Structure 1
Amino acid sequence: MTFDEIVGDARIMAILRGLPPAETLSLATRLWDAGVTVLEIPLARPHGLDALRHVAAAAAERGLIVGAGTVVTPDAARAAADAGARYTVAPGLDLTVLAASLHAGLPHLPGVGTASEVGLAVAAGCRWLKAFPAGALGPGWISALHGPFPDVRFVATGGLSVSDVPAFLDAGTAVVALGSALADPDQRAQLADVL
């Protein structure tokens, strides 16, 4: 499976961070019902691995998949695969984590914040990259990096709200990831406007 297949025509990725497994599954279900099908469960928080297991099992019943986020070690990549993740996401570019994810059969989305990191990721075979922290980088960063790297598909992540989505999409971002914004019921209600 590739990120092209994982993402399809989705424009929003949901990051379900730090909730107990039952609450994570409840939020995932509401998001799936609303049309958000690309989900990431970060492993770095308490309950992360258990939440991933619960949501991955429920996703499989719907014919959907879930990824593991904050995968920063090769061991975490292997644990994510064992828990049912179908892809991994990291805040930075670590070639050992990339290799471990690929070895486990999981596409990997490494985080980048500089042109040098984008270049290294592309040289390592990555076409989809996580622009992180996107809130600090801004939409102009995406536009600027598309000049030298026109084939890269960016997932803007970090510090974004639903109201930021249009500017990032207009700048050429393939997908905008929302995490903390999803804890706000008002922003969740606005998701329909950007889906």
Structure 2
Amino acid sequence: MTDNSAFHELFGDVRLMAILRGMGVERSLQVATTAWDLGITAVEVPVQTPTDVEALRVIAEAAAARGLHVGAGTVVTLEHVRQAKDAGAAFTVSPGFDVEIVRASHEAGLPALPGVATPTEVQHALKEGLTWFKAFPASLLGTGWFGAVRGPFPQATFVATGGMDAASAPAFLEAGVRVIAVGSALENPAQLPALSALVKGGAD
């Protein structure tokens, strides 16, 4: 039986998570610093290339100096789990639900945040012992999806990922989403004030 209840502590009361996809080492660190300065304590670095893995390693070191945590994203192979652990990641995030990846992450001491988009996936993941899920692609699922799924699965907690920004986030938070994952929005200076306001905004 796996367990990812550690995300309650990893996210705390912060409503946003930063995703740094394919930015390279230097730019990833710059955007991570922007996120941290806004109060976004959780950062995800997808690991699809060797450069991504190096970026994860550098950002994990910088985060540790602040007492913060960084996760590895787009974890879809057992090798990705190993790379995440070696690079200093504190958790893994996947686009879909793969029980093998979830179990390998758990065994490595890394809580896993699997992607779900259907009630069937949520039900199977809950059976595995998980309670936190990445709803992906959230912008296509829509806000109504969360209320509908929360009916039969009230114990499920969701991180909305995919197409999220400062404009769309409030509606998803109102729909019961616990955390909004943002990427390119962090590189848009016009969105930073609104993102800052959202860091601890919204209702449980």
Match of 1:47 among 24, 35, 51: 51
Match of 2:112 among 102, 108, 111: 108
Rounded Cα–Cα distance in structure 2 between residues aligned with 1:147 and 1:159: 24
* 4+ aligned runs moved over 6 Å, structure 1: none
Match of 2:67 in 1: 63
The residue type paired with residue 41 of structure 2 is T
What's the TM-score once normalised by structure 1's chain length?
0.96
The residue type paired with residue 130 of structure 1 is K
Identity of aligned residues (%): 52
CA contact (8 A) 1:17 1:45 kept: no
Rounded Cα–Cα distance in structure 1 between residues aligned with 2:150 and 2:160: 13
CA contact (8 A) 2:134 2:160 kept: yes
Count of aligned residue pairs for this structure pair: 195
Deviations 1:114-172 (A, max 9, x none): 00000011011110000000000011101111100101110000011211111011000
For residue 183 of structure 1, report the CA deviation from its aligned partner: 2.6
Within 5 A, what are the aligned runs for 1:4-153? 4-45=8-49, 47-153=51-157
Rounded Cα–Cα distance in structure 1 between residues aligned with 2:37 and 2:73: 22
With 134-143 and 176-185 compared, the bigger mean Cα shift is at 176-185
Match of 1:163 in 2: 167
| 3-state secondary structure, aligned to 1:66 | strand
> Is 2:195 the counterpart of 1:188?
no
For residue 113 of structure 1, report the CA deviation from its aligned partner: 0.3
CA contact (8 A) 1:159 1:180 kept: no
What's the TM-score once normalised by structure 2's chain length?
0.92
Greater RCO structure (CA 8 Å; 6+ sep): 2
CA contact (8 A) 2:34 2:186 kept: no
| 3-state secondary structure, aligned to 1:162 | coil
For residue 45 of structure 1, report the CA deviation from its aligned partner: 4.7
The residue type paired with residue 80 of structure 2 is A
Instruction: Name stretches of at least 5 consecutive residues in structure 2 with no aligned partner.
Output: 200-204
For residue 46 of structure 1, report the CA deviation from its aligned partner: 5.8
CA RMSD of aligned residues (A): 1.2
